Amino acid sequence: MQRRGALFGMPGGSGGRKMAAGDIGELLVPHMPTIRVPRSGDRVYKNECAFSYDSPNSEGGLYVCMNTFLAFGREHVERHFRKTGQSVYMHLKRHVREVRGASGGALPKRRNSKIFLDLDTDDDLNSDDYEYEDEAKLVIFPDHYEIALPNIEELPALVTIACDAVLSSKSPYRKQDPDTWENELPVSKYANNLTQLDNGVRIPPSGWKCARCDLRENLWLNLTDGSVLCGKWFFDSSGGNGHALEHYRDMGYPLAVKLGTITPDGADVYSFQEEEPVLDPHLAKHLAHFGIDMLHMHGTENGLQDNDIKLRVSEWEVIQESGTKLKPMYGPGYTGLKNLGNSCYLSSVMQAIFSIPEFQRAYVGNLPRIFDYSPLDPTQDFNTQMTKLGHGLLSGQYSKPPVKSELIEQVMKEEHKPQQNGISPRMFKAFVSKSHPEFSSNRQQDAQEFFLHLVNLVERNRIGSENPSDVFRFLVEERIQCCQTRKVRYTERVDYLMQLPVAMEAATNKDELIAYELTRREAEANRRPLPELVRAKIPFSACLQAFSEPENVDDFWSSALQAKSAGVKTSRFASFPEYLVVQIKKFTFGLDWVPKKFDVSIDMPDLLDINHLRARGLQPGEEELPDISPPIVIPDDSKDRLMNQLIDPSDIDESSVMQLAEMGFPLEACRKAVYFTGNMGAEVAFNWIIVHMEEPDFAEPLTMPGYGGAASAGASVFGASGLDNQPPEEIVAIITSMGFQRNQAIQALRATNNNLERALDWIFSHPEFEEDSDFVIEMENNANANIISEAKPEGPRVKDGSGTYELFAFISHMGTSTMSGHYICHIKKEGRWVIYNDHKVCASERPPKDLGYMYFYRRIPS
């Protein structure tokens, strides 16, 4: 308390009215009931405004409400005051000054002791060449009276305690739940001033071995002298001989990084002196001292075992346009997103999303209305956070180029006002990923899965009658022909992206690929240097043809035969979306169940015409299969579990779940696989994963009736999702048991793809639904099932039109798996391509359009 009091004794800021000592207590008396002391579980926001990306580093500082503990920038605090009537705010401001000597050079580095705010610091200021001073004061609205802190003598005890609690509170984004947040590691006290010997040591990308023994696993690089030594011995006889620790005891060099864990997003760093894993904010610089470029590293346990390191260097360089001097871009639409630790998948998707005018109009265009009518806690509102992110990316407020005159003036005043170098999507990520075990972690994720997750959130939180995600919606016509009767069935389903298979057999350089593979295997067997990478070159036309080729169906329900049958399925576009998202299916699984990535180059066209894939419907001479549903067959225990709602998630065989998760599948997908196969083991669950991995909700959390909802994967257990979109009777019964009409339940389930939780949301969001609407239910008794038909179904929300498109954005992935590596986005703006690499936004010189993972096309008006 004494230390904080000394730090608070700073001059008050300008623009407010300072109180005389005798008036302070009297002034606060009317507001005392509104001042709270943060309790355990209260989220205290001190780093970021709820409506913008203003922080204590911003020119106007940050205002923290002393009742709700929400924070607001100078532009938005008045809105909160008018809406809630809360008058007392704590104003936080960080002053940054560059320390300069008399000759104009920087003074020797020294420890800064005038900071008390727990803030993220920009990399270029994260050194002792700058001096920070944090200032806090109470501000009373609407007259803007200011009370400098601390003021123990004049402030009531409750106010003093509340102020101290707010200032000492931890970030709301620190780990709160062991299942959803990663451990927060401390920054090593040795990182800022780490000594590195200029001994000429350079570390190769592979072939590492302990300098004191022959071990090639669990190796650690000492960041002072570059020694490579083995780690500790473990109880299971794995690990090492402890030579890295011995080296520290001999030499006293404190920090080491584990080889094989280095990626562009960080690495495992250990402090021998502090005896715990730590963070090194200068890790990139410390590794570069030994010739290691973090941007070109891919984490593996053993360099010799990962022959992909050399293969992937080219991919990293090409996609990031390394070796080319890229010109930074500033202004509206050219704002980057800081990497929060494997958050590049989110950044890339959001950059592409907010380059679409419909999303810009829906959120940023409605900013005043959305902000004015936001809930009392705007940090927990999807539309508010989408609008905040969109405004941050598009306004240009956080992407300003340095101005020479301003720099000179700052030097003269000895005050440094840093330019915003991108925005941090921490609040947005925390909200959109909550309750999702994969996206809420700090692990790398699949950009395509996050795109579908985001579309689902947009669907559930639409603004008025317009839904910006409708620009992606399209209808797929699926035609199945029974191999025995030759009769056909046509069905339609809604989708949001086109998944394009990789036609490896159509590679134009097959001979070169075969020769490369033989040479590679020989080099690997004899431990010789690997040959130069040869990437498969696939024509786009071959991939498009593979997309439209018939697919064998082994066990569909043939109504004519009243039994399972074999058939052939083909898919066509029943409608074309306004914006077409194409995913290249580069990821697959080897015979050993290990995920792998096709290293391919596809000549994706700038102009795309898929009009020839338009659905044609029932053709002359074709005979439709009778419209009879299959019998519903449910295993007894599964049926009892669902109907009686006695599911206990703890019944799931966690050992099988972990076996699947270790193969690289999303954890929640593994839990669903084990649950829906009745705990019959990992092998049976693996087969379920292979069948369902293309479904949009594949990685969504497992939810069951009676436990907050039923995932669409649950509906597939009853065989109902593929036949006329008929909702399963079991789920209809659950909804009607809650007091809703049967026709309401069916309509809601059909509108939400038989997802119980979303269906309930749909019912509550459509109070205008009436029993006498044009939605008519006809019941026909059948020996096997009740058939539900719709006289006048509500048409799907699609924006059909021409199937001619122009490429305007693409997302690329670097690495061997969607669970690792790095994502980058390229967007065409104002006639030129721009590369978005986390917080760095530059004009692209060589956009690698042939190496993309997701492509975004806009319709060309006919």
Q: Is the pLDDT of residue 531 over 80?
A: no
pLDDT band of 12, cuts 50, 70, 90: very low
- Among 780, 773, 772, 778, smallest CA distance to 790 is for 778
pLDDT-wise least confident of 125-139, 262-276, 322-336, 776-790:
776-790
Q: Is the pLDDT of residue 774 over 90?
A: no
pLDDT band of 451, cuts 50, 70, 90: very high
Domain ranges of the chain: 21-101+113-168, 185-297, 320-471+803-859, 475-613, 654-693, 729-766
Q: Which strand ranges, in their side-by-side order, compose the sheet holding 228-230?
A: 228-230, 219-222, 255-258, 269-271, 276-278
CATH, range 320-471+803-859: 3.90.70.10
Which helix H or strand E contains 736, and what residues bound it? helix 729-736
Q: Domain spanning 185-297: which CATH class is it, in words? A: alpha beta
Which helix H or strand E contains 72, and what residues bound it? strand 71-73
pLDDT of residue 441: 77
pLDDT of residue 798: 85
pLDDT of residue 630: 55
User: Which 3 state secondary structure label does DSSP give 255?
Assistant: strand
pLDDT of residue 553: 76
- Among 348, 256, 269, 258, smallest CA distance to 299 is for 258
Strands (E), 110-268: 130-140, 145-148, 219-222, 228-230, 255-258
| CA separation, residue 425 to residues 372, 445, 448, 467, 676 (Å) | 22, 16, 19, 23, 36
Q: How far apart are CA 657 and CA 671, in angstroms?
A: 6
Which helix H or strand E contains 744, and what residues bound it? helix 742-751
pLDDT of residue 178: 35
- Paired residues of 257 in beta bridges: 221, 269
Helix pair 667-676, 682-692: axis angle to 10 deg: 110
pLDDT higher for 740 or 346?
346
pLDDT of residue 595: 61
Mean pLDDT, residues 701-706: 59
Share of the chain above pLDDT 90, in %: 37
pLDDT band of 821, cuts 50, 70, 90: confident
User: Tokens in use for 15?
Assistant: 């623009």
Query: CB of 435 within 8 A of CB of 460?
Result: no
- Which residues make Cβ contacts (< 8 Å) with residue 518, sequence separation at least 6? none
List b or e across 811-822, with b for residues whose CB sees 16 or more CB atoms inside 10 angstroms: bbbbbbbbbbbb
pLDDT-wise least confident of 192-201, 365-374, 420-429, 593-602:
593-602
Check 76, 80, 91, 822 and give the catalytic one: 822
User: Which 3 state secondary structure label does DSSP give 146?
Assistant: strand
Q: Domain spanning 475-613: which CATH class is it, in words? A: alpha beta
**DSSP helix, strand, coil percent of the chain (3-state; round to 5):** 30, 20, 50
User: Please, how many CA atoms are within 13 Å of residue 269, restricted to the half-sphere of its CB?
Assistant: 27
pLDDT of residue 780: 30
pLDDT of residue 462: 84
- Which residues make Cβ contacts (< 8 Å) with residue 743, sequence separation at least 6? 771, 775, 777
Strands (E), 592-632: 595-597, 600-602, 607-609
Q: How far apart are CA 132 and CA 115, in angstroms?
A: 6
User: Which 3 state secondary structure label does DSSP give 50?
Assistant: coil
According to DSSP, the β-strands at 62-65 and 88-98 are: antiparallel
- Which CATH architecture best describes the domain 729-766? Orthogonal Bundle (1.10)
pLDDT-wise least confident of 77-91, 244-258, 500-514:
500-514
User: 85 in the Ramachandran plot: left (φ > 0), alpha (ψ -120 to 50) or beta?
Assistant: left
Mean pLDDT, residues 242-265: 87
Q: How far apart are CA 352 and CA 221, in angstroms?
A: 39
User: Tokens in use for 656?
Assistant: 């099988």
Check 344, 482, 543, 842 and give the catalytic one: 344
- Paired residues of 478 in beta bridges: 491, 571
Q: How far is CA 372 from the centre of its chain?
A: 28
pLDDT higher for 771 or 385?
385
pLDDT of residue 775: 34
Q: Is the pLDDT of residue 642 over 60?
A: no
- Which residues make Cβ contacts (< 8 Å) with residue 290, sequence separation at least 6? 201, 202, 203, 221, 226
Query: CB of 472 within 8 A of CB of 497?
Result: yes
Most confident by average pLDDT, 122-136, 180-194, 275-289, 407-421: 275-289
pLDDT of residue 233: 57
Identify whether 543 is a catalytic site residue: no
Q: 398 burial class (0-12, 13-18, 19+ CB within 10 angstroms)? A: buried
CATH, range 21-101+113-168: 3.30.40.10
Query: CB of 652 within 8 A of CB of 681?
Result: no
Q: Is the pLDDT of residue 7 over 60?
A: no
pLDDT band of 701, cuts 50, 70, 90: confident
pLDDT band of 686, cuts 50, 70, 90: confident
User: Which 3 state secondary structure label does DSSP give 627?
Assistant: coil
- Among 611, 610, 604, smallest CA distance to 808 is for 604
Known binding site for Zn(2+): residues? Answer: 210, 213, 230, 243
Most confident by average pLDDT, 175-189, 410-424, 804-818: 804-818
Identify whether 670 is a catalytic site residue: no
Mean pLDDT, residues 148-156: 83
pLDDT of residue 114: 58
Mean pLDDT, residues 325-353: 93
According to DSSP, the β-strands at 269-271 and 276-278 are: antiparallel
Q: Using H for helix, E for strand and C for coil, what is the string for 765-795?
A: HCCCCCCCCCCCEEEECCCCCCEEEECCCCC
Looking up tokens 């020797």 gives 108
Mean pLDDT, residues 416-420: 49
Mean pLDDT of the chain: 78
pLDDT of residue 691: 75
- Paired residues of 462 in beta bridges: none
Query: CB of 660 within 8 A of CB of 674?
Result: yes
Same fold, 654-693 and 729-766: yes
Which CATH topology does 654-693 take?
Helicase, Ruva Protein; domain 3 (1.10.8)
Query: CB of 49 within 8 A of CB of 64?
Result: no
pLDDT higher for 249 or 646?
249
